[in-house]
Amino acid sequence: MSKQPFLTAPVPSTKMPPGIPYIVGNEAAERFSYYGMKAILVVYMTGYLQNSAGQPAPMKNEEANVYYHLFTAANYAFPLFGALLADLWWGKYRTIMWLSLLYCFGHFALAIDETRVGLFVGLALIALGSGGIKPCVSAHVGDQFSETNKHLLERVYGWFYFSINFGSTFSTLLTPLLLESKQFGPSFAFGLPAVLMAIATAVFWWGRYRYVHIPARGVGFLKEATSLEGRRILLRLSVVFLFLSVFWSLYDQTGSKWVQQAEQMDLQVIGPDSFLPFEWTISPAQVQAVNPILVMIFIPLFTYLIYPFCERYFKVTALGKMSAGLFFGVAAFALSGWIEVRLLAGEKVGISWQLWAYVLMTTGEILAYFSSLEFSYSQAPPTMKSLIMALNLLSISLGNAITSGTNYLILKNESVKDALVGANYYWFFTSLMLLTAVCFIPLAWSYKSQTYMQDSAGLVDGSPANE
């Protein structure tokens, strides 16, 4: 009598995939370049922009806000283009490499041309390059894992996001100093991110033989995406991402409206009356560095302390964390509205109040965005992972389109300008966020998820997850 083979479950592995250090190193340098450029963008447009004759030609605040959020919207819309390139033709690795080169050229365009031509060419190339590689890099991280080590994925995404904020912290502190320095100025301030992006591209190339490469699926990708099951997955996830877009309409104003608000505040962090033997005053653009610093503190805090503590009393799900994140966005913008009321009353408001708003907004970011990365990857079949990541990022694009459109109406329509003058601007977005957060609760409770992971043989493991 023949013997039946004895089947066992895959043995969990604690070994990290060999390509992960190269991907994380690439991400740290790339995010240094992106956030360093973005940190000074509004200040540059309103204070340093020149015309073709080399004379000052700055933008108004509202115009700068329109272009800032339009650029951010484009940056998070192009992930769909990158995902299609990767899944239909090039694969993730080649897509990342070629678009990274365009990304480098965009930074150099900003560094060598201080007119609107250089600004728009540079931002267009950066949006195409940075946006195009976003879903591919995030999905490329997940591709390195199989059924045996998928339990390490959440931790690696945490460190992946940590690397983003490690790079952005230093660039957000450094590039404003270069911009404001008489010795350096805009060329050096934008040139440093260009150099870092070149380094990021080189680091990613060096790890090419250590990656798991998932080839493009061509028409197979389209067949799965347009199948009944594919359409169902896309529709359900799109509803989730639509709610998240409102959070991003608030969050990304930390680089525009909050910077302009900081310009009206007392920026002295350490004054002459303190016990320390020195004074410390920061620039409005440098305040943004608080966010990545807090992220680096909050990621291990939430991962190793807060989430395990909460798990003792109730199940912590990705959708539950996203729901909580939306409410923290409400609190953050409500505080910034309160700050604006005090400023309009002529009070001297210290920058520490805005720092508390950053604490609330960063908490919302950890809960909403970090959870959405893990959720998006796990809910997508293997041939659709880049596409689903792109849809997640498209929610950020939509959020910034909302903000850009609102500022455009303020610039062009007197009635809208009168309605959203002063603190009313902040109350408008606070109310919109509150309505969204309340409506998201029943969706989070009722959503039934399906987890898809890639096993070591390149097959699909689709298992239900009780979200």
Helix (H) or strand (E) holding 167: helix 153-180
Q: The whole model's pTM is what?
A: 0.82
223 confidence band (pLDDT: 50, 70, 90): confident
- Supply angle C-alpha 165, 170, 172, rounded to 5: 85
Tokens of 66: 């329109």
Task: Give pLDDT, residue 426.
Answer: 97
Mean pLDDT within 260-269: 92
Asked whether the predicted pLDDT for residue 3 surpasses 60, the reply is no
Answer for the pair 55, 49: CB distance below 8 angstroms, yes or no: no
Q: What is the dihedral of CA 21, 25, 26, 29, to 10 degrees?
A: 180
Structural contact between residues 289 and 179, judged by C-beta atoms closer than 8 angstroms: no
User: pLDDT digit string (tens) for 24-58?
Assistant: 888 888 988 999 999 999 999 999 999 999 899 99
Q: Which residue has 């960063």 as its token pair?
A: 362
Q: Is the dihedral of CA 369, 373, 379, 383 positive or negative?
A: positive
Question: Which pLDDT belongs to residue 273?
Answer: 66
Q: Are 269 and 281 in contact (CB under 8 A)?
A: yes
Which of 176, 265, 219, 202 shows the shortest CA–CA distance to 25? Answer: 202
Residue 409, judged by CB atoms within 10 A of its CB (0-12, 13-18, 19+), counts as middle
Q: Could you tell me which residues come within 8 angstroms of residue 16 by beta carbon, excluding any fewer than 6 positions away?
A: 149, 152, 156
Pairing of strands 449-454, 460-465: antiparallel
Per-domain residue ranges of the chain: 20-465
For residues 323-327, give the mean pLDDT: 96
DSSP result, 394-434: HHHHHHHHHHHHHHHHHHH-HHHHHHT-TTHHHHHHHHHHH
Structure confidence by residue, pLDDT tens digits, 178-213: 998 888 999 999 999 999 999 999 999 998 888 877
Question: Which value, to the nearest 10 degrees, does the dihedral of the CA atoms of residues 78, 83, 89, 94 take?
Answer: 80
pLDDT at 139 (0 to 100): 74
Query: d(Cα 465, Cα 467) in Å, to the nearest integer?
Result: 6
Does 233 or 294 have the greater pLDDT score? 294
Per-residue confidence band for 229, with pLDDT thresholds at 50, 70 and 90: confident
Percent of the chain with pLDDT over 90: 54
Distance set, CA 223 to CA 3, 85, 218 (Å): 40, 16, 9
Q: What is the mean pLDDT of residues 364-387?
A: 81
**Can you name the residues that pair with 451 across neighbouring β-strands?**
463
- Report the DSSP pairing between strands 280-281 and 460-465: unpaired
For residue 221, the model assigns a pLDDT of 65
155 near 14, Cβ under 8 Å?
no
Q: How many CA atoms lie within 13 A of 396 on its CB side?
A: 24
Q: What percent of the chain has pLDDT over 70?
A: 88
Cα–Cα dist 172/11, whole Å: 43
Distances (CA, A) of 329 to 237, 255, 359: 21, 15, 10
Helix ranges (DSSP H) in 252-317: 257-262, 290-301, 307-311
The closest of 227, 288, 214, 205 to 23, measured between CA atoms, is: 205
Residues whose CB is less than 8 angstroms from the CB of residue 130 and which lie 6 or more positions away in sequence, other chains included: 30, 34, 75, 78, 103
Check if the beta carbon of residue 337 is closer than 8 Å to that of residue 430. Answer: yes
Domain 20-465 -> CATH class = mainly alpha
Q: Which two tokens stand for residue 6?
A: 């004895």
**How far, in Å, CA of 313 to CA of 444, rounded?**
18
Pull the structure tokens for residue 356.
């508390």
Q: Phi, psi (5° rounding) for residue 60? A: -75, 160
User: How far, in Å, CA of 132 to CA of 100, rounded?
Assistant: 9
Question: What are the pLDDT digits (tens) for 63-106?
Answer: 999 999 999 999 999 988 888 888 788 888 889 999 999 999 99
